């Protein structure tokens, strides 16, 4: 499989999103009804803002998705909603654990910034392989990143509010004992592994572009 082979990488993208999302859900400490409601809310928000963005051109800019990411609902691939779910879960967990004593609004803002920075990395790869197309542009305008920031604030806030209830997840303190104050995940390492997998995937994609583009 060539790193620069568009078909190979495009087929890997939805699979990668689904597998990493399953990894995260499989280590969630308590798979409760509230957890599923929270995840579904984040997924639906992602689909909602993307559908409106595609059809209005006022949120992210004028763009459309191709058929390469699989089945679409009103022009938006289902895996895009999964993408919002995966990224917000990862970065909210990462920020909540690393900055657990910080103000809520600061954690929300930093989590959203992380999502924007990853989108900056994703955009050239996605455009190169034709996952979506910016009409009249090669890459998105500043509006796309502004929308990602505010949308990121919404989904990061949803997860942080969920964990703040103390019923979603649990982690361990520095001495290895159970702690009910900081609620991240049953296996915190899986968060770091997932984020690294995302970054490595796109780094390899860029290598493919450089070698075979």
Pairing of strands 63-65, 72-73: unpaired
Give pLDDT, residue 172. Answer: 37
Q: What is the DSSP string of 47-115?
A: HHHHHHHHHHSSSS-SEEE-GGG--EETTEEHHHHHHHHHHHHHHHHHHHHHTTTS-HHHHHHHHHHHH
Please provide the distance, in angstroms rounded to a whole number, between the alpha carbons at the two ends of the chain.
Answer: 15
Average pLDDT of the segment spanning 33-51: 89
Query: Residue 12's pLDDT band (boundaries 50, 70, 90)?
Result: low
The pLDDT tens digits for 101-122 are: 789 999 999 999 999 998 998 8
Pairing of strands 72-73, 171-172: unpaired
Lowest mean pLDDT among 32-36, 45-49, 176-180: 176-180
**Which of 12 and 115 is assigned the larger pLDDT?**
115
Three-state secondary structure call for residue 206: helix
**Which of 213 and 160 is assigned the larger pLDDT?**
160
List the chain domain ranges.
Answer: 6-212
User: Angle, nearest 10°, between helix axes 189-212 and 6-26?
Assistant: 180
Average pLDDT of the segment spanning 153-163: 90
Give pLDDT, residue 211. Answer: 55
The phi-psi region of residue 134 (left if phi > 0; otherwise alpha if psi is between -120 and 50; otherwise beta) is: beta
**Which of 139 and 33 is assigned the larger pLDDT?**
139
In this prediction, what percent of the chain has a pLDDT beyond 70? 63
**Is residue 92 within 8 Å of residue 42, measured between CB atoms?**
no
Q: Which residues have a Cβ under 8 Å from the Cβ of 34 and sit 6 or more positions away?
A: 162, 165, 167, 168
pTM of the model: 0.73
Q: CA 201 to CA 90: how far, in whole Å?
A: 16
């Amino acid at each position: 499989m060539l790193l620069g082979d568009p078909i190979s990488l495009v087929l890997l993208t939805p699979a990668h999103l689904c597998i990493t999302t399953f990894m995260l859900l499989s280590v969630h400490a308590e798979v409760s009804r509230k957890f599923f409601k929270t995840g579904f809310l984040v997924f639906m928000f992602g689909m909602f803002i993307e559908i409106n963005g595609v059809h209005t051109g006022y949120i992210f800019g004028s763009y459309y998705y191709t058929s390469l990411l699989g089945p679409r609902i009103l022009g938006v691939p289902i895996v895009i909603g999964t993408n919002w779910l995966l990224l917000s879960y990862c970065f909210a967990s990462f920020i909540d654990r690393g900055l657990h004593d910080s103000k809520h609004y600061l954690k929300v803002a930093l989590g959203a910034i992380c999502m924007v920075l990853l989108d900056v990395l994703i955009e050239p790869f996605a455009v190169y392989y034709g996952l979506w197309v910016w009409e009249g542009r090669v890459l998105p305008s500043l509006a796309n990143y502004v929308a990602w920031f505010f949308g990121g604030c919404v989904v990061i806030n949803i997860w942080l509010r969920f964990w703040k209830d103390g019923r979603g997840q649990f982690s361990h303190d520095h001495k290895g004992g159970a702690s009910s104050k900081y609620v991240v995940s049953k296996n915190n390492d899986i968060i770091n592994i997932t984020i690294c997998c995302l970054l490595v995937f796109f780094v390899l994609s860029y290598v493919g572009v450089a070698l075979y583009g």
